[in-house]
Structure 1
Amino acid sequence: MSTLTGAMYTGISGLTTHSKGISVVGNNLANSNTLGYKATSIQFEDLFYSSINTANGADQIGHGSTVSTLYSNFSQGSYQSSSSVTDVAVSGKGFFIVTNPATGKTYYTRSGNFTFNDDGYLVNAQGYRVQGWEADPSHNGRGVSTIGALGDIQLDDLQSPPQATSLMTMLVNLDKDSEERSANTTNPFFALQQEWDGTADPPLGETRYTYQTSMVVYDEAGGSHEVTVYFDPVQDDAVVSDAGGGQVWEYIVTCNPSEDGRTIDGQELSGTSSAGLLMTGTLTFDSSSQLTGITAFTLADTATGDLHNLSNWTPADIDDDGLPIFTANFSGSEDASHTGAAGAVNIGLNFGVHNRTPAATGWDGAVANAAAVGTDINNLFNFTDPVFGANASTSYDTSSSTLSRNQDGYPPGFLDTVEIDKNGVVSGVFTNGETLELFVIGLADFANYQGLISEGGNLFSASGDSGLPITGIAGTNGFGSISSNTLEQSNVDYSGEMVDLIRFQRGYQANSKVITTVDSLLQEAINLKR
């Protein structure tokens, strides 16, 4: 290769490499506002050399430059807040995984601008489906746990199933100065129970009790039912004299008699005087108006004859939380008057005291049935090992009121909104107030990011150079965390790109000068023949 021809080739190679450098800078600047874009830098290397003989011996003359490598900068971009909960960004290592539903090909991206489409799939801007795992419902709210294989995330006609009420907490203050409204000289502790008449309307007249409070509970199908508790002080002279300055209140737990579907030994309660009467018992307060004891009776599943008779009412069962249970059957299933019956709703009642479990269970000195209590206050038993809560029912000399009431049941609900936490857990917020973990967004990582292939659309694909994807959950095993309502911006550095642009421009201009100089010299050589 002649010297001038070689110089021309060298200049052309310089133009080519610097034009590619300008192209790389231009692409970076063009994508400076592209979500999740990773800037690329270009590096040059020299080309082959020709050997020549000089006074110093053998030397070499170079013949230009070429592109040696393109290097993607996978450093994290800045974050931008978003109003969409499905806009997510990874803080740290990891790529979102999306799949083309038409081809089944999988891609990886740092751009988390996702939405739910009409079919309920979580998709990116191209309609590719975001991949993740189904959340394990048994771990709802207790750490991240998944079931099944990695797959599409789809929220389609999701409902939150109902939950029957199993706990009813009712903390009350019962005015110690209240006057007794129902009296029974034979059974002073169960006057309300004796007054109740499930065939009357109302079953208990307003003049027969001192205070009442109601709460909505739910059956297994999610149906709502109102449970009302009535209270009245026991002011029998013998009881008052034996109470040591304290006070005893009786209570009954009731439902609408028309909704009572219990059956006892083949006898339906509906239409009887006991219809709607679920529990009866007493609350004992000391002279400081603090709760010190409780009794609870329910209708025995072996009851016979007159179901209103107190001999058919036995000490209530106690649940695993140490609370007395009453059983309702709002659905009308047969034999649902005892705790093990099909269709029964067993509800623990908490007035602020429970039995310590499992160290001790049951009642201490319980009588066989309510009829055996009679007029003797000493027959009012208590838990074997009662534990009184910091918040419990009281009997201060202020107006009777409900201090707190809640229950753990709820009706079925429909998906309202979604939430995404730092582990990528997609939770559904339902119209019944429940929040259920539904899916977990998957992340992927690679041994060699430089081996990833840019596919356009903010997507990368794996290659033999990148290695196989390693999948996992955000916040575990080295993966970064996920931020909702956030998008990762491009990591393009404007100032650095402008410096490179000027550098490549000057390099291009200099190589252009080489070519024009060589061209001028070649013209001189041609003119020598004239």
Structure 2
Amino acid sequence: MGLTDALFTGTSGLRALGHGMSVIGDNVSNLNTTAFKGARITFSDIMAQSINTAAGSGQLGRGAGIQALYQQFTQGAFESTANPTDMAIAGAGFFMVKNPQTTGGIYYTRDGQFVVDKDGYLVNPQGLRVQGWKIDETTNDITGALTDIRIDRSSPPVKTTKIDMITNLDAREETRTKIVNVRGTINTSDTNPDSYDFVIRDIDGQDVKLRITLGYDSAKGTWTYTIEDITDITNPNVLSQNTIGTTSTQATITLSTTQEQVIIDWSAVTQDNANPTSLNIGEKSTKRIETVDPSVTSWADTFTYASGDTWYWKDIDIKDANGNQQTIRLFIKQSASGSTWDYYVFQNPTSTTLTDTANTPEDDPVNGTLLAKGTNYDISKNGPVNFFLNGTTEKLNWDWDSNRINTDGSNDYSYELYEDGNDDSSYSLYEVVDMPTLFNSWNATNDTPLQSTAYTYRSTLFVYDSLGTPHEITVYYNPTTRDNVWEFLVTCNPSEDQRDFLRDDNPMQWYDPATDSRIEIVSGKTFTQTKKGVLMYGRLEFDNQGNVKKFYDTYRIDPNTGDLVQVIDVNGVPLASPKDKYNALGSNGYPLMIADFLGIDFPYDDRAPNSNDQGQAKNDVQQIELNFGYYYKDTWRSESVRTTQYATSNATLFYDQNGFGPGALESISVDNEGRITGIYSNGRVIPLWMVGLANFNAPEKLQRVGGNLFKETTHSGPPVTGKPGTNGLGTIAPNSIEQSNVDLGEQFVKMIIFQRGFQADARIITVSDSMLEELINLKR
């Protein structure tokens, strides 16, 4: 019947408008709810009923019902806060939070009120953990999968791998002068000029053998001279010469190895035809021994030990730095290959009668103190054998290579000094001049390892080992004998230097598995102890505009043996394979030095550093790049901030290093890309996490679960995750929260409309009721 239909029709309207009023009430009640998204309700008519009319069939509505109810994801306004972990999303997207008590319980929210809980997790007010990606500190990009964001409360120590030391070195500093004074008396009536051979030793221990030939014209009062490099005796190289005559008594030469300039001065040479004396340079010590090898000229003495090996041996008297005579005993024999040698060097033997019951020279007690030994040694490739006088840093070189000495035994190419009285031309002794360098001047056994007179400027900074302990690093600078060339020495506190060679009883040992050659300098411990704390030595060459042209002739200390290892040659080219088996340059193109403050053991001292036995030790030592503002990439290239040589005071313009000690979290910051950065008490600013965002194709179809949270539904589609600001996702507004997007005025207008509609629907019911009452009254 139509009247009862009217009652139900009115009731449907009351029901629908009542739900509408509930929606408005929910919107208004959440006006101050963070990131609340207001809902919108829409209505539709209920399926109509067909009735007959005079005009034919017609449709009669059955009332109103709810057509749709969904959230409005319009942007809410931002409210600034003082909490650094408060975040708002500017644009599309949702934060992802996870319930730690369940597996896979991911919820989505626009509410960015986050705090760090007691366990370091970034959580929302319900304790759900915010999801994000870990940031790689090196690449500054995300790594791994989405996971719970957990802020590290402490910053672990980071060992230093790069030092930046930008200085200005005063161009007004005078270059250092090295003068070699030649002395003696020459016979001017002799038509043959007087010659004298001596040696200048460069920084890496290489001997540059020189010959000076002098003539004097008494009538003219002029000198003729020739100064030759006879290091390769078969191919002498004239360094300076005047065959016409000059009144000057000086000549400047440049060493072929290190390019250092040296002044040869013979002003002290006198003329006395009646009492001529040999030329000399006034050095007390003998530091170079040359012998003719037994394959060319047999030595006077041979001996076969019980093992069956026949050794050539020779005693040679030399003078040490104090002018005292020492006896050096040399043993040598060819190896089985015929091209290499086995050798021994002893000091002060007790008898010239060898013990036939000994197996090797080392086992024979009469040979004295062992200084050095080697097997399968190739002198043509490796250069002279080095050793030290026992208990001193006085280094001697023993050479028997035919390219460097006269092999026929004559005195045409060698001058014999301090002869033992026998006309034994199978060996020659040379005085040696050591170049004064920062490296040679450093002596860690002194209270002050480097005297202030040895350098012009110094600068100090702190670096950190892997445990976070700070260590002082000092860089010394001094001009050299060449214009626009400075030398530098990098050192640490000797008491903190824990490299393996400093703790070994016999540090200087080498082994080459390819040739089975072994070298051992037993006498090297005193020398290595004096170089404790030295990390790198080298030279910087500047151009005329005060900019560095190149590093060159640069060395570091082998952490296993204590040997000086060249990493950049005299032309400024980094070596492809330095002898210590570490790279010459670091990953950034800067020279690489090796430090050890923790005492890393190389377990087998006589093995090469790159063998399997030492692989871990090799990686554990601290490799530090030295940045003066210049790096190598095919050639030396300058950076915008770099070391200079200008005519102003020596000064450190900038210094820094990339290591840190341990630190505690002091504060957190977030940027608009969602990158969470920790600021720690040790000065580190570390990018830690990136907040992940998600979006849906139909976010209106998400299911509300309370607490400002949504869940994925079939109708919303799966989430699409990504970094903020990518793939249509919004950016992050830090120190902000999003407010509700409810428009209060709009809600009041709708409230009035719903109220009037409700009143009208109620009148439908009351009127229909009255009509039914009239109908019932008809029966009465």
Cα offset, 1:129, TM superposition: 2.0
Give the Cα separation in 2 of the matches to 1:392 and 1:496: 65
Cα offset, 1:332, TM superposition: 2.7
Cα offset, 1:401, TM superposition: 0.9
Pair 283,468 (structure 1): closer, same or farther in 2 beyond 3 Å: closer
User: In the alignment, which of 539, 542, 562 is matched to residue 282 of structure 1?
Assistant: 539
Report if the CA contact (8 A) 1:160-1:434 is conserved.
Answer: no
Report if the CA contact (8 A) 1:339-1:346 is conserved.
Answer: no
Partner residue, 2:653: 403
Give the secondary structure class of the aligned counterpart of 2:529. coil
Pair 121,281 (structure 1): closer, same or farther in 2 beyond 3 Å: closer
Give the Cα separation in 1 of the matches to 2:638 and 2:700: 65
Pair 103,190 (structure 1): closer, same or farther in 2 beyond 3 Å: same
Give the Cα separation in 2 of the matches to 1:15 and 1:8: 11
Correspondence 1:89-128 to 2 at 5 A: 89-104=88-103, 105-128=105-128
Give the Cα separation in 1 of the matches to 2:541 and 2:152: 53
User: In the alignment, which of 126, 151, 159 is matched to residue 155 of structure 1?
Assistant: 151
Give the Cα separation in 2 of the matches to 1:288 and 1:474: 48
Give the Cα separation in 2 of the matches to 1:315 and 1:121: 48
Pair 181,412 (structure 1): closer, same or farther in 2 beyond 3 Å: farther
Cα offset, 1:188, TM superposition: 8.4
Q: Which amino acid aligns with 2:148?
A: D
Give the secondary structure class of the aligned counterpart of 1:190. coil
Q: Which amino acid aligns with 1:155?
A: I
Give the Cα separation in 1 of the matches to 2:179 and 2:495: 27
| Structure 1 residue 224 corresponds to structure 2 residue 224 | no
Q: Which amino acid aligns with 2:160?
A: A
Report if the CA contact (8 A) 1:213-1:229 is conserved.
Answer: yes
Give the Cα separation in 2 of the matches to 1:106 and 1:77: 23
Correspondence 1:427-438 to 2 at 5 A: 427-438=677-688
- After alignment, is 90-99 or 209-218 more displaced? 90-99
Partner residue, 1:131: 131
Pair 299,435 (structure 1): closer, same or farther in 2 beyond 3 Å: closer
User: In the alignment, which of 419, 422, 438 is matched to residue 192 of structure 1?
Assistant: 438
Partner residue, 1:351: 628
Partner residue, 1:493: 743
Cα offset, 1:74, TM superposition: 2.0
Give the Cα separation in 2 of the matches to 1:427 and 1:190: 51
Give the secondary structure class of the aligned counterpart of 2:714. coil
Cα offset, 1:275, TM superposition: 1.9
Partner residue, 1:370: none
Pair 348,184 (structure 1): closer, same or farther in 2 beyond 3 Å: farther
User: In the alignment, which of 160, 163, 169 is matched to residue 164 of structure 1?
Assistant: 160
Partner residue, 1:255: 492
Pair 432,526 (structure 1): closer, same or farther in 2 beyond 3 Å: same
Report if the CA contact (8 A) 2:539-2:554 is conserved.
Answer: no
Spell out, residue by residue over 1:329-385, the C-alpha distance to the aligned partner (whole angstroms, 9 max, x if none).
222334599996454323333334444x3x3xxxxxxxxxxxxxxxxxxxxxxxxx4
Report if the CA contact (8 A) 2:114-2:123 is conserved.
Answer: yes
Cα offset, 1:468, TM superposition: 3.2
- After alignment, is 507-516 or 58-67 more displaced? 58-67
What TM-score, normalized to structure 2?
Answer: 0.56
Report if the CA contact (8 A) 1:327-1:339 is conserved.
Answer: no
Correspondence 1:318-333 to 2 at 5 A: 318-320=584-586, 321-333=588-600
**Larger helix percent:** 1
Structure with bigger RCO (C-alpha 8 Å, 6+ apart): 1
Give the Cα separation in 2 of the matches to 1:515 and 1:164: 85
Cα offset, 1:258, TM superposition: 0.9
Report if the CA contact (8 A) 2:559-2:595 is conserved.
Answer: no
Pair 269,303 (structure 1): closer, same or farther in 2 beyond 3 Å: farther
Q: Which amino acid aligns with 2:37?
A: K
Partner residue, 2:508: 265
Give the secondary structure class of the aligned counterpart of 1:36. coil
Cα offset, 1:288, TM superposition: 5.0
Pair 511,172 (structure 1): closer, same or farther in 2 beyond 3 Å: same
Identity of aligned pairs, percent? 40
| Structure 1 residue 505 corresponds to structure 2 residue 502 | no
Report if the CA contact (8 A) 1:41-1:72 is conserved.
Answer: yes
Give the Cα separation in 2 of the matches to 1:334 and 1:12: 91
What TM-score, normalized to structure 1?
Answer: 0.79
Give the Cα separation in 1 of the matches to 2:108 and 2:159: 40
How many residues are matched? 483
Report if the CA contact (8 A) 1:89-1:111 is conserved.
Answer: yes
Spell out, residue by residue over 1:274-307, the C-alpha distance to the aligned partner (whole angstroms, 9 max, x if none).
2223333333445554444543443564999xx8
Partner residue, 2:10: 11
Report if the CA contact (8 A) 2:36-2:708 is conserved.
Answer: yes
Pair 190,432 (structure 1): closer, same or farther in 2 beyond 3 Å: farther
Cα offset, 1:504, TM superposition: 0.8
Pair 502,169 (structure 1): closer, same or farther in 2 beyond 3 Å: same
Cα offset, 1:471, TM superposition: 3.4
| Structure 1 residue 467 corresponds to structure 2 residue 721 | no
Q: Which amino acid aligns with 1:426?
A: I
Report if the CA contact (8 A) 2:559-2:594 is conserved.
Answer: no
Report if the CA contact (8 A) 1:46-1:65 is conserved.
Answer: yes
| Structure 1 residue 298 corresponds to structure 2 residue 555 | yes
Q: Which has the larger radius of gyration?
A: 2
Cα offset, 1:60, TM superposition: 3.8
User: In the alignment, which of 459, 476, 479 is matched to residue 213 of structure 1?
Assistant: 459
Pair 395,189 (structure 1): closer, same or farther in 2 beyond 3 Å: farther
Alignment RMSD? 3.5
Give the Cα separation in 1 of the matches to 2:671 and 2:626: 35
Cα offset, 1:411, TM superposition: 2.9
Spell out, residue by residue over 1:87-117, the C-alpha distance to the aligned partner (whole angstroms, 9 max, x if none).
2222333222222333443322111212121
Pair 108,56 (structure 1): closer, same or farther in 2 beyond 3 Å: same
Give the secondary structure class of the aligned counterpart of 1:41. strand
Spell out, residue by residue over 1:164-221, the C-alpha distance to the aligned partner (whole angstroms, 9 max, x if none).
32x3232222233446899886778634333322122222233443221112122333
Cα offset, 1:503, TM superposition: 1.0
Give the secondary structure class of the aligned counterpart of 2:97. strand
Q: Which amino acid aligns with 2:743?
A: D
Pair 147,527 (structure 1): closer, same or farther in 2 beyond 3 Å: same
- After alignment, is 255-264 or 312-321 more displaced? 312-321
Pair 252,44 (structure 1): closer, same or farther in 2 beyond 3 Å: closer
Partner residue, 1:44: 43
Spell out, residue by residue over 1:35-68, the C-alpha distance to the aligned partner (whole angstroms, 9 max, x if none).
2222212222223444444332333433322222
Cα offset, 1:223, TM superposition: 2.4
Cα offset, 1:454, TM superposition: 1.4
Report if the CA contact (8 A) 2:539-2:552 is conserved.
Answer: yes
Give the Cα separation in 1 of the matches to 2:671 and 2:495: 46
Give the Cα separation in 1 of the matches to 2:68 and 2:169: 83
Correspondence 1:13-28 to 2 at 5 A: 13-28=12-27
- After alignment, is 334-343 or 19-28 more displaced? 334-343
Q: Which amino acid aligns with 1:485?
A: N
Give the secondary structure class of the aligned counterpart of 1:170. strand
Give the Cα separation in 2 of the matches to 1:10 and 1:388: 87
Q: Which amino acid aligns with 1:55?
A: A
Report if the CA contact (8 A) 1:161-1:412 is conserved.
Answer: yes
Give the Cα separation in 1 of the matches to 2:721 and 2:179: 73
Give the Cα separation in 1 of the matches to 2:20 and 2:692: 36
Report if the CA contact (8 A) 1:182-1:195 is conserved.
Answer: no
